Structure 1
Amino acid sequence: MTTDLADKTSAGVHDVAISPSSEASKETSGGGLLRLLGPGLVTGAADDDPSGIATYSQAGAQFGFGLLWTVFLTTPFMIAIQLVSARIGRVTGKGLAANVMEVAPRWAVLGLVFLLVSANTFNIAADIAAMAEALSLVIGGLNHEHALIFAATSTLLQVFVPYRRYAPILKFLTLSLFAYVATALMVNVPWGEALLAAVWPQVSPNADYFLMVVAVLGTTISPYLFFWQASQEVEEMNQGKVDPPLRNQRKKDHPELRRMRIDTAVGMIFSNAIAFFIILTTATVLHAHGVTNIDSATQAAEALRPLAGDFTFVLFALGIIGTGMLAIPVLAGAAAYGVAEVFGWRASLEARAPQAAGFYTIIAAATVIGFGLGFTGIDSIHMLVWSAVLNGIVAVPIMAMMMLIVSNIKLMGHFKARGWLIGLGWIGTANMAVAVLALFWSFGHAAL
């Protein structure tokens, strides 16, 4: 009887230890913040993929410190829209595509998901090419061989490593972004001039300037991030670490809401902080020395070598590889979640391959096609342009539908969003619409 009592007591203590309210109390401790970080952190870090690095590098090289202000402008809107996607996934227990089908006809959702998959595939192609070039710069070798290694490794990890083990790997890869903090600290930054430009920008009213502003906005707020974070919240829920969908809970102020707010805010601030340091470094080194045209992340790394030294070059190049290994599974995974949810397939990185064959087929196909595009002769810049255009087409309607979903009491119950989240979300959607219109205008203007 003593043993039974001890077992019951131990079980009771264990139950208390894993309950949400107990976890919430632990979160105030020093190590508690790390336990709170997950989907939001990984999503934010994946936004700084090699393609994003190329965009931020060009912003710094072409306009110096003149576009640092965009990082601060986008941060609150980025936090709001990503928090909306996280909230939708956690409250409903379903991914974003499954929820969008509740407010839009299936044919429209199919069209948006098709464009998402296409944009992500071009983005994967550009990222794989950049990673292969970066590794060739550091250790030598053939680009195509390196590209094959990266594509195969990413696909195999997603297919054969269950989510509960793969999630910590993605979380660990976020550390690679600190390479860009280190590179900024290794160059002689005129901090007074840089910070003044960030808070009091001198706008250049010309087409090139506005095109770059649009590019930075489009790189920072991307549709694949919405799909990924919503689905990751569902993955976390299905691991049994937390309660079932929040919509079924009576408590309005659930600890999971606080956890999502902290996780998402930290992830997006971290993402934009890295963008800030990339612009800062390239502005300080490249723009100051007359290097004003950067076509890829690897070109930025190579340009840094004679001006900032070999160690800065290596750090910048290795950062490209690390962020690519984080971004490719997010891009492929976001595409797979979207397709699988539309067709009603099982969509989970925790499932074994035979249990979610369609889901893993999309992951493999997006990565393999992305790898194959590297043999077509299409340069990474053209792939990024197509990715930007397709993302622009997808982003605004998806953001608008997300705002309709998160404020829908039928879908969200008493967890529907209110106040500042609704306001920032709609303002962010409007800003993105203006940015996309400007993007199309700039492409039309360039074609004339």
Structure 2
Amino acid sequence: MPTSAASVGAARTRGVWRRLGAGLVTGAADDDPSGVATYSQVGTQLGYGMLWTTVATVPLMIGIQTICAHIARVTGMGLTANLVRILPRGVVVGLVALLVVNNVVNLAADIGAMGDALAMLTGGHPRYLALLCATVSLLLEVFIPFRQYAPILKLLTMSLLAYVLTACVVGIPWRDLLAHWRPAQWNHQTLVALTAVFGTTVSPYLFFWQAAQEVETERADPDARSLLSAPEDAPEEFRRIRVDTDLGMIYSNAVAFFIMLTAAVVLHGAGVTSIETSADAARALDPLGGHLASTLFTLGIVGTGMLAVPVLAGSAAYALSEWLGQEGSLESTVHQARTFYAILAVATALGTLLTFLPVAPFRLLFWSAVINGVVAVPLMGAIMLAASSSALMGPFVLKGSLHVVGWIATGVMALVALGLFL
């Protein structure tokens, strides 16, 4: 019997979904609760004036994340394991230390935001609900092997659609947007916001996570080998990485656009000029945008938090365990990778502990994004050196348009960070 067009379309969709993995999860994890708070705060403060950043950062994200994936797939090792081969060990430990500290702060902001969001939905105590979220996330990472955990993370990426639905519910005045949009005036506030947006969008923890997931995917396939060992697989693998990363980063920034736009239309439009957390944005939406919009936004915080927490803790564990020369993998058992899981647990525990301290949550998450933007510059430079090293990459040394885009992304991040200080 002839195959219907609908069944052919469904088969193609399933085929594309199967090809998505590290890039999609990494991109979606970028819209974590602290990122949501940053986008919401910028939209609340500056209205439409910073919407252009969600478009401008797309090629930067695609470029640097694709390069990270290439390094891992070519060598069969994570970023830290590659960096220690070309850089002084002290430089690498400095970069890894900054990553770990910032990830713990990010974890605190995200776990706290999930607790606040669940408290809004259930009426429970926000700190105990935060502890519950962190515990569930940690148990999933520890006791579910990577090959079974990866589909869960991929499914959680769909939670980002809650923010798109929120924008649909509140109603976006597209004609007004096109008629009145103009870039924000340049001043210190704008530069801080710009660095925060770029920092939360082009985030160092994403570099390590996507590279690690490429290594995990290779290890999970008994027939797969590093491209240095199996160069004949390179064309197909690079195509897969390109599709996966392009779609993941475009999806991430499209969602960021709708978050910032919703805050600009509803909160900024109503005269609200400041919020402190993503939960504050959800509360403010209730009387201004309606209960449905607030509920969708709140559900998005919980969903994206459950995706981002393992990425933040996992990227710290991958980076630090590789620097220590220890085996680290979500596919391994606790007995096989004790150091890796210990770092994972400690990072999650410290992040959770910070939520119980009297620390202003907005200060944590917003300045964490700013620090991200500054730390990303030397790290991106190191990544570009690794990708350009023939000793590491062999015949797959970075060249062509991807090489140019990678250095442009590094230069743009440097200018943004420099602008903040000047």
Same-fold call, TM cutoff 0.5: yes
Task: Please give the secondary structure, in 2, of the residue aligned with 1:439.
Answer: helix
1:84 maps to a residue whose letter is I
**Alpha-carbon displacement from aligned partner over 1:125-159 (angstroms, at most 9, x marks no partner):** 01111110111111111111101101111111111
The residue that corresponds to 2:347 in the other structure is 366
Aligned to 2:248: 267
> Where does the alignment leave 5 or more consecutive residues of structure 2 unmatched?
1-8
Aligned-partner SS, 1:31: helix
Shift of 1:393: 4.3
* Pair member with larger Rg: 1
Q: 1:350-386 deviations in whole A, cap 9, x for unaligned?
A: 0000110000000100000111111221121222245
Aligned equivalents of 2:186 and 2:374: distance in 1?
25
Map of 1:434 onto structure 2: 415
Given that residues 77 and 425 in structure 1 are in contact (C-alpha distance below 8 angstroms), is that contact kept between their aligned partners in structure 2?
A: yes
Q: Quick one: distance in 2 between partners of 1:267 and 1:27?
A: 20
**Residue matched to 1:80:** 63
Equivalences, count:
414
Q: What is the correspondence of 1:173-252 to structure 2 with a 5 Å cutoff?
A: 173-195=156-178, 201-240=182-221, 243-251=224-232
Identify which of 117, 139, 164 aligns with 1:156. Answer: 139
CA contact (8 A) 1:66 1:197 kept: no
TM-score (normalizing by structure 1): 0.89
Residue equivalent to 1:120: 103
Q: For 1:289-328, list aligned pairs within 5 A.
A: 289-328=270-309
Of 129, 138, 145, 2:121 maps to 138
Q: 1:165 aligns to what?
A: 148
Counterparts of 1:202 and 1:167, CA distance in 2: 39
- Residue by residue over 1:279-338, the C-alpha shift from the partner in whole angstroms, topping out at 9 and shown as x without a partner, is 111111111111121111000000000011111101000100100000000000000000
Task: For residue 52 of structure 1, give the secondary structure of its aligned residue in structure 2.
Answer: helix
| Separation of aligned partners in 1, 2:236 and 2:141 | 30
- The equivalent residue for 2:90 is 107
State the alpha-carbon separation in 2 of the partners of residues 389 and 56 from structure 1: 13
Equivalent residue of 2:395, what SS? helix
Structure 1 residue 202, shift from structure 2 partner? 2.8
- Name the SS for the 2:49 alignment partner: helix
Aligned equivalent of 2:33: 50
CA contact (8 A) 1:27 1:33 kept: no
Distance 2:129 2:16 in 1: 36
The one-letter code matched in structure 2 to 1:381 is F
The range that moved more, 411-420 or 120-129, is 411-420
- Return the offset for 1:251: 2.7
In 1, distance between residues paired with 2:234 and 2:128? 52
Distance 1:332 1:154, change over 3 A: same
Percent of aligned positions with the same letter in both sequences? 51
d(CA) in 1 for partners of 2:12 and 2:285?
41
Residue type at the aligned position of 1:293:
S
Between the aligned partners of 1:196 and 1:183, the Cα distance in structure 2 is 23
Where do 5+ consecutive residues of structure 1 fail to align? 1-25, 442-448
Between the aligned partners of 2:398 and 2:233, the Cα distance in structure 1 is 11
CA contact (8 A) 2:199 2:371 kept: no
- 1:394 matched to 2:359? The reply is no
Helix, strand or coil for the counterpart of 1:149?
helix
Contact 2:28–2:157, Cα closer than 8 Å, also in 1: yes
Residue 110 of structure 1: how far off its partner (Å): 1.1
1:368 and 1:252 map into 2 onto residues whose CA distance is 40
**RMSD between superposed Cα atoms in Å:** 1.7
